[in-house]
Amino acid sequence: MKLNELLKNVEVLNVLGDIDVEITGVNIDSRKIEKGHLFVAIPGTQTDGHKFIPKAIEQGAVAVLCEYFPNRREPGITYIAVDSTEDNVGE
């Protein structure tokens, strides 16, 4: 499914990159990311999922749904900022 289709019910604040990219899966666990996935970075009580964005990209993520953009962004990766990633999981 195309990323822009996945985002049609999501209130997006900002996008860096191509939203017409093909997404093969969605995951909140960077260890389970596979090539073509969308990684959802969720801040938690123990750790912040934003810390795992580089690992998710290394594992094959082509897009990242996050609450803030990382300081270092990889070329060819689409970053989507939303107010709350937790509220947008499963929509």
Question: What pLDDT does residue 90 have?
Answer: 55
- Structural domains of the chain, ranges and CATH numbers in brackets: 3-88 (3.40.1390.10)
Give the up-direction half-sphere exposure of residue 73: CA atoms within 13 A in the CB hemisphere.
18
42 within 8 A of 30, measured Cβ to Cβ: no
- pLDDT confidence bin for 91, thresholds 50/70/90: very low
The pLDDT tens digits for 10-67 are: 999 999 999 999 999 999 999 999 999 999 999 988 899 999 999 999 999 999 999 9
Do residues 24 and 35 make contact, with C-beta atoms less than 8 angstroms apart?
A: yes
The answer to whether the pTM exceeds 0.75 is yes
